[in-house]
Amino acid sequence: MAFTVIINANAFLVTLLLLSLSSIPLSSSTIQQDFVMCLVDNSDASFPMDSSFFTHDLNASSFKVALETSAQNLRYLMPSNPKPEFIFEPLYETHVQAAVVCAKKLRLHLRLRSGGHDYEGLSYVSEMDSAFVIVDFSKLRHIDVDVESNTAWVHAGASIGEVYYRIQEKSKIHGFPAGLCTSLGIGGHIIGGAYGSMMRKFGLGADNVLDARIVDANGKILNRAAMGEDVFWAIRGGGGGSFGVILAWKLKLVPVPEVVTVFTVTRTLEQDGTRLLHKWQQVADKLDEDLFIRVIIQPASKTPKSKERTIATSYQGQFLGDANRLLQVMQRSFPHLGLTKKDCLETSWIKSVMYIAGYPSTAPSEALLDGKSLFKNYFKAKSDYVEEPIPVEGLEGLWKKLLEEDSPLTIWNPYGGMMAKIPETETPFPHRSGTLFKIQWLTLWQDGKASEANHMEWMREMYSYMEQYVSKSPRAAYVNYRDLDLGRNGKGSDAREWGYRYFKGNFERLVKIKAKFDPENFFRHEQSIPTDL
267 in the same domain as 245 = no
Instruction: Tell me: do 179 and 131 sit in the same domain.
Output: no
Cα separation, 120 vs 335, whole angstroms: 40
Q: How many residues does the chain have?
A: 533
The whole-angstrom separation of Cα 493 and Cα 225 is: 35
Residue 376 in this model has a pLDDT that exceeds 80:
yes
**Are 130 and 158 in the same domain?**
no
d(CA 110, CA 101): 11
Q: Which of 121, 136, 151 is the last residue of a domain?
A: 136
What type of residue sits at position 479? V
**pLDDT, mean of residues 244-273:** 98
> Does residue 278 belong to any structural domain of this protein?
yes
How large is the average pLDDT for residues 463-480? 98
Domain boundary among 67, 101, 136: 136
In a domain, 475, yes or no: no
Q: Do the domain assignments include residue 364? A: no
CATH number at residue 385: 3.40.462.20
Average pLDDT over residues 122-139: 90
Are 228 and 115 part of one and the same domain?
no
User: Does 468 or 116 have the greater pLDDT score?
Assistant: 468
Any domain includes 19: no
The answer for 441, left when phi > 0, alpha when psi is -120 to 50, beta otherwise, is beta
CA distance 512 to 49: 37
Distance CA 252, CA 208 (A): 5
CB burial class (10 A; 0-12, 13-18, 19+) of residue 68?
Answer: middle
For residue 203, count other CB atoms closer than 10 A to its CB: 25
Give the Cα separation of 432 and 434 in Å (integer): 6
Can you give the pLDDT at residue 4? 40
Q: Which pLDDT score is estimated for 319?
A: 98
Residue 33 has pLDDT above 90, yes or no: no
Selected residue with higher pLDDT from 361 and 259: 259
User: CA–CA separation, 393 vs 376, rounded Å?
Assistant: 34
Please give the backbone phi and psi of residue 509, each rounded to the nearest 5 degrees, phi first.
-65, -40
Does a structural domain hold residue 5? no
d(CA 227, CA 204): 22
- 22: confidence class by pLDDT, cuts 50, 70, 90: very low
Residue 373 has pLDDT above 80, yes or no: no
Average pLDDT, the chain: 92
Q: Which of 23, 131, 35, 36 is nearest to 83 (CA)?
A: 131
Tell me, yes or no, whether 100 and 159 share the same domain. Answer: no
Which pLDDT score is estimated for 491? 80
Q: Which of 136, 155, 178 is the last residue of a domain?
A: 136
Lowest mean pLDDT among 112-116, 268-272, 483-487: 112-116
Query: Vertex 113, ends 108 and 115: CA angle to 5°?
Result: 170
Helix (H) or strand (E) holding 199: helix 199-202
Q: Look at residue 107 and tell me whether its pLDDT is greater than 70.
A: yes
Cβ(167)–Cβ(174) below 8 Å? yes
**pLDDT for position 255:** 98
Q: Indicate if 447 and 341 belong to the same structural domain.
A: yes
Same domain for 267 and 252: no
Q: Give the amino acid at 137.
A: F
Shared domain check, 225 and 150: yes
178 pLDDT higher than 70: yes
The residues, ordered by sequence, that sit 6+ positions from 255 with a Cβ below 8 Å of its Cβ are 173, 174, 175
pLDDT for 392 beyond 70: yes
Q: Where are the alpha helices (DSSP H) in 51-159?
A: 60-68, 93-106
CA atoms of 446 and 435, how far apart (whole Å) = 34
Query: What pLDDT is stored for residue 62 in this prediction?
Result: 84
Q: Count of domains in the chain?
A: 3
SS3 category, 69: coil
> Are 320 and 419 members of one domain?
yes
Going by DSSP bridges, is the β-strand pair 132-136/109-113 parallel, antiparallel, or unpaired? parallel
pLDDT band at 245 (very low <50, low <70, confident <90, very high): very high
Split at pLDDT 50, 70, 90, the class of 8 is very low
Which tens digit of pLDDT belongs to each residue from 49-99?
A: 444 788 877 677 888 888 998 888 999 999 899 999 999 999 899 999 999
For 209-232, what is the mean pLDDT?
98
pLDDT, one tens digit per residue, over 284-338 is 999 999 999 999 999 999 888 778 999 999 999 999 999 999 999 999 999 999 9
* Cis peptide leading into residue 474 (ω within 30°): yes
pLDDT at 23 over 90: no
Alpha-helical segments (H) within 292-348: 323-333
Percent of the chain with pLDDT over 90: 81
User: What is the pLDDT averaged over residues 413-426?
Assistant: 98
CA pair distance 129, 143, nearest whole angstrom: 34
The pLDDT assigned to 189 comes to 97
Check residue 28 and give its pLDDT. 59
Closest-CA residue to 286 (of 336, 339, 330, 333)? 333
Distance separating alpha carbons of residues 63 and 54, to the nearest angstrom: 5
Q: Note whether residue 523 is domain-resident.
A: no
Residues 6 or more apart whose CB falls under 8 angstroms from that of 36 comprise 5, 14, 17, 18, 21, 53
Assess whether pLDDT exceeds 80 at residue 16. Answer: no
Whether residues 289 and 409 fall in one domain: yes
Same domain, 37 and 126: yes
pLDDT at 226: 98
pLDDT level of residue 27 (50, 70, 90 thresholds): low
CATH number of the domain within which 206 lies: 3.30.465.10
Question: Is the pLDDT assigned to residue 2 strictly greater than 60?
Answer: no
Residue 233 lies in a domain: yes
- The answer to whether the CB of 143 falls within 8 A of the CB of 163 is yes
For residue 371, give Cα distances in angstroms to 118, 128, 185, 519.
16, 30, 8, 35
Give the domain CATH number at 70. 3.30.43.10
Query: Which amino acid is it at 304?
Result: P
Residues 113 and 38 placed together within one structural domain of the fold: yes
Q: How far apart are CA 452 and CA 450, in angstroms?
A: 6
Q: Residue 117's domain spans which residues? A: 31-136
In a domain, 533, yes or no: no
Q: What is the pLDDT of residue 37?
A: 84
Distance between CA atoms of 69 and 123, rounded to whole angstroms?
A: 13
How far apart (Å, rounded) are the C-alpha atoms in residues 153 and 167?
11
* The Cα angle at residue 118 between residues 112 and 121, in degrees rounded to 5: 80
SS (H, E, C) 235-281: CCCCCCCCCCEEEEEEEECEECCCCEEEEEEEEEHHHCHHHHHHHHH
Q: For 248-260, how does the pLDDT look when each residue is reduced to its tens digit (9 = 90+)?
A: 999 999 999 999 9
